[in-house]
Structure 1
Amino acid sequence: MADTDEAQQPPPTEPAKDDTAVVPMEPIVADPSTSAAMEKALLADDADAVQKELDGGLELSEYLTRETLEKLYKQALEDATAEQKESMVYTNMVNKFIEDGKYEGHSFLHILGEIMSHDLIEDYEIPNLYDDKKADRPLELHDLFIWAAITGRTKLTKLFWNIDSDQIVSGLIACMMFTFTAKHLPDDIYHADLREDLFKLSIFEPACLFSTNGNQELNQL
C-alpha cells in the first residue's frame, strides 16, 4: 500500500522564478580601437582628431573612467620633454607628495584634487573633485578640459572650452591654473618667457567674467 501511495504523489515542483529580481548589469566599456584612437589624439594635442572621435559616436561616459584619466596624466608626464615637465606644476607636486608619503594610500587623482582644492583657489573652500570616496562620480568634458590645461595641450584646452556647456566656470578654472603654474615656475631667466606666456593666458579670466551670453568662443577673445 505504501508503494501505491508513493506512486500517486505528484513530482516535486521547482520553486517559481522571481521575475522581479534585479540582475546586475555589466559595466559598459568603450570599444578598444576607439579608445586607443582617442588616447592617441589626446596625447598628441590633436583637436581635429578628438573632434572626429566625438562626432563619430564615441561616448565620453564609456571612455572616460578614473583609470583612463589617471593614465592620461601619467602618460603626458612621461612623454614630456625636460622643459615641458618643469611647467607641469600640478603633476610634479602630486609626484612629490607621493614620494614624501603625503596622502599615503590615496590615488594620483585624489592627490591632484587636494592640490586644486587647497592651493589653486585659496580664498574658497571647494570639494576635492577626485575624492577617492566619490570614485563613482561620472567624469565629464570638464575633466578632460582640466587635464588639457594642466598638461599644456593648448589646442585641446580651446576645443573643450568651446564645446563645454559651462564655459565661464571652465574658463575661470583655466585662468587660475595658468596663474598658479606661472607663480610656481623656477624664478630664473630660463623660464621668463614661459611665465610671461602663462600670465598672458590668465587675462582670459576677466573676459570670461564679463561674457554675457556664455557661448563666446575662446579664440575670439
Structure 2
Amino acid sequence: MNTPQLAHRRGIPAADSRKIQLIMNLRSQGIRSTAVLDAIERVPREIFVDAAYADQAYADQSLPIACGQTISQPFIVAFMSDRLEVTDRMKVLEVGTGSGYQTAVLAHLCRRIYTVERYRILLRAAEERFKQLRLTNITAIVGDGMKGWPSQAPFDRIIVTAAASSMPLALLDQLKVGGIMVLPIETSPGRQELQRVVRTEESYERQSLLPVRFVSLVPGMPREA
C-alpha cells in the first residue's frame, strides 16, 4: 500500500498525505537536513501554485506561474536551501521572488530574508501569501535582481533563482567574506549548472553541483514593472 492510500485510511487529508510522500521522496534523493525538511513541511505549496495546477502542488516538478516564470520543483528548492547552509542568525538575499515559495522556505531557516523581484504582479501576489502565512521576517521590493540590494549588504547568504550568463559580480560584492551564494549558471548554449560559490578574502571558490533548468536572469526592468 502506498503512502497516500495509507494516509487516507488513517484519516489524513489528501494534501497532507501528498506532502508526507514528498518529504519521503526528498529524503530518498539525499536531502538530510532536518531543518530544511521541516521548512518544506511547514510551507503549504498549494497556495503558491496557480489554481489550475493545485492537484500537482506536491508533485516533484516545476510548474508555470504568471509572467512566463516558474515555481521550482521541491527537490531543487530543498537542495539549494540545503547547500546554502543557512542558520537562524543569518541575513539572506534572494534574487527572484517568483511565487514566493522558495522565500517562504528560507524564512523558516534564517533571521531575515530580503527578496527582489522584477515583476510587480508576482511580488504583490507573493506578499499576500507571506501575510497569509504570517511570515514577518521577509522584506521584498520590485527591482533589478542583477543589482542585488546594496543598501542592505553585506549578506551572509545569497540565492539566485534564475540562470546567470556569467558570475554576477555585483551580487558577489554584496556577499560577506566566508559567505555562500548558490545560483544557476549558463555554462554553454542550452546548458545550465547549479553552482555553490564561497567568497574568500581575495576572490571566490566555485563548486559545481548539478545540471538544472531555470529561466534566465535578465538585467533591467520589464515594461509592466
> Which TM-score tier does this pair reach, normalised by the shorter chain?
under 0.3
Query: More strand per residue: 1 or 2?
Result: 2
Greater gyration radius: 1
State the TM-score, normalized to the length of structure 1. 0.28
Query: More helix per residue: 1 or 2?
Result: 1
State the TM-score, normalized to the length of structure 2. 0.27
